[in-house]
Amino acid sequence: MGPLNFPQLTVSSSEQDGAHVVALSGELDLRAAGELEAALAQAGTTTRVCLDLVELQFIDSTGLATIIRAHQTMAAAGGALAVACRNEGTVRRTIETTGLTTLLTVAEDRAAAIQALG
């Protein structure tokens, strides 16, 4: 039996149209949730955050909980978080199945998510 090969999460942060953008690709799970938390913490006092999940292939309950906490933290500070997520695929299906589309602002792409931030 060879070594286990775990898919990785890639996180990148940037600024676009006055919003802090955190883009993820790969898999957001228990092993990787801390990376997302660290990237969101770098947003500092930014009041507009776009979480771009367009290139994310998988998300588990830990990843969803991390996003919910980020949303709650932003809302409590008077800010807003919007999620960019393709309209098809397992990540979108997971977000819809868990009912998070009623809590989160979810748009099909980054530009639409940033626009939804106002």
> Residues of 91-108 as b/e, b for ≥16 C-beta within 10 angstroms?
bbebbeeeebeeebbbbe
Q: Which domains does the chain have, with CATH numbers?
A: 10-116 (3.30.750.24)
Gyration radius from the chain CA atoms: 14
Q: Is the pTM of this model over 0.85?
A: yes
Longest Cα pair distance anywhere in the chain, in angstroms?
52
To which residue do tokens 């771009």 refer?
Answer: 52
The span from the CA of 79 to the CA of 47, in Å, is: 4
Q: How far is CA 99 from the centre of its chain?
A: 16
With H, G, I as helix, E, B as strand and everything else as coil, classify residue 95.
helix
**What is the pLDDT at residue 84?**
98
pLDDT one-digit tens code per residue, 42-66 = 887 788 999 999 999 999 999 999 9
φ and ψ at residue 112, rounded to 5 degrees: -70, -35
| 117 pLDDT above the threshold of 80 | yes
| 12 pLDDT above the threshold of 70 | yes
- Name the token pair of 1: 């039996």
**Overall residue count recorded for the chain in this entry:** 118
pLDDT band at 3 (very low <50, low <70, confident <90, very high): low
**What is the pLDDT at residue 64?**
97
